[in-house]
Amino acid sequence: MIVDVHAHALSERFLADLQRRPIAGISAERGDNGTYFMRGGGWDRPSSLDVNLHDLPRRLASLKRREVELQLFAPPPGFFSWAGGAASREWVEALHAQELDIAAQAQGLMEPMVVFALGEPERAVDEIRRAMDLYPFRAGMLPSTAGGRPLDDPIFEPMWSLIEELGLLIFLHPTSAVGSERFGLHGVHVLVGWPFETTLAVTRLIFEGVLERHPGLKIILSHGGGNLVFLRGRLDSAYNAEGWEANPYYRKNISRPPSAYLDRLYYDTCALSAESNRFVVETMGEDRVMFGSDYPFDIGDPEGKRAVPAIASLSDAAREKVCRGNAYAALRTIGKNLQN
């Protein structure tokens, strides 16, 4: 059995409603072939959506076929952060409502993640509390940047404090802090730019002291941690430098080498090759890796086929941890009696 900590979904009812009534300047259109297109927000031109995002029967069939007992989900990251902007409280309220609609129809197989009103930082904490009154969220999906504003910005400190207090398991997902012009194509931006976005966001969270101040944070990094697992020694070298490259900044806000903070984080299996997944497990340890599919995206692992070879090579105990045990251990239980 599997717990999938990395998936995206949208309610078809929500998209249909957006055709009739835009929310926070964001609307949807539907083409003749049934494909939905988004307008407004981060979509400066109509952007099509994968039909599998809102095809719930097909998703449930996939979950049952693959013996996924629980899938944590949120909207795609472009719905809550984009180059130059991030979600308002009004938009986040609508996203939460449509997530609960999906969960109610998912036969207990899907659990929603709270999302954050990063476009209105002063209201983000109030929206988290409002959402928790609606549903016992145990996890959240946080973008790597709030429209270009880093997550270590002091304005987000109350949000981090509340996340730690609530014990939410946070899935940190990359999104575009800047436009894709430099990459030549949005798809290339996703391929190589998004792992960098995760790397930069976490590096800043370390050196700016967010992880030092909030040792209770539980954070999962998407795509096997971006480039961080490979770069852990390079980050430590800055902290340990004694020669002319030594800079007091690298010790100003932290009391241990960066790798010590990386050791407290979790990493999903959506690294997209058996070799990369084995490297993450071997480097970070079997207790720090969780199964993640990035369903339904092709530049992901929607059916788990890319992760399976690496997971299958583990011992029975390690395989159980990666497939479900680590997720259940990190998720706090509210209103549910989950069996580990």
CB atoms within 10 A of CB 107: 11
pLDDT in tens, 201-210: 999 999 999 9
Residues 6+ apart with CB under 8 A from 146: 81, 86, 118, 119, 121, 153, 156
Paired tokens of 132: 């928790």
Instruction: Give the three-state DSSP class for 218.
Output: strand
> Of 4, 164, 145, 154, which Cα lies nearest the Cα of 70?
4
CB atoms within 10 A of CB 100: 15
Confidence of residue 45 (pLDDT cuts 50, 70, 90): confident
Confidence of residue 335 (pLDDT cuts 50, 70, 90): very low
What per-residue confidence (pLDDT) applies to 46?
A: 73
Q: Residue 25 class from Cβ within 10 Å (0-12 exposed, 13-18 middle, 19+ buried)?
A: exposed
Confidence of residue 340 (pLDDT cuts 50, 70, 90): very low
Average pLDDT over the chain, rounded to whole?
94
Start-to-end Cα distance in the chain: 11
Q: Residue 110 class from Cβ within 10 Å (0-12 exposed, 13-18 middle, 19+ buried)?
A: buried
Full set of structural domains in the chain with CATH:
2-9+52-330 (3.20.20.140)
Contact between 283 and 315 under an 8 Å Cβ cutoff? The reply is no
Q: How far is CA 306 from CA 63, 276, 285, 293, 309, in A?
A: 16, 10, 19, 9, 7
Beta-strand ranges (E) seen in 151-303 are 169-173, 218-221, 266-268, 289-290
Our measurement of the distance from residue 244's CA atom to the centroid of its chain's CA atoms, rounded to an integer in Å, reads 38
Q: What's the CA gap between 31 and 300, in Å, rounded?
A: 25
Q: Residue 173 class from Cβ within 10 Å (0-12 exposed, 13-18 middle, 19+ buried)?
A: buried
What per-residue confidence (pLDDT) applies to 184?
A: 85
Kindly give the pairing relationship between strand 218-221 and strand 169-173.
parallel
Instruction: Give the three-state DSSP class for 260.
Output: helix
Confidence of residue 334 (pLDDT cuts 50, 70, 90): very low
Is it the case that residue 338 has pLDDT exceeding 80?
Answer: no
What per-residue confidence (pLDDT) applies to 180?
A: 83
pLDDT in tens, 210-261: 999 999 999 999 999 999 999 999 999 999 999 999 999 999 999 999 999 9
Q: How far is CA 104 from CA 108, 122, 317, in A?
A: 8, 31, 33
Is it the case that residue 339 has pLDDT exceeding 90?
Answer: no
pLDDT in tens, 91-144: 999 999 999 999 999 999 999 999 999 999 999 999 999 999 999 999 999 999
Dihedral sign, CA of 147, 151, 152, 156? positive
Q: What is the mean pLDDT of residues 81-89?
A: 94
Instruction: Give the three-state DSSP class for 36.
Output: strand
pLDDT in tens, 66-81: 999 999 999 999 999 9
pLDDT in tens, 134-188: 999 999 999 999 999 999 999 999 999 999 999 999 999 999 888 888 888 888 9
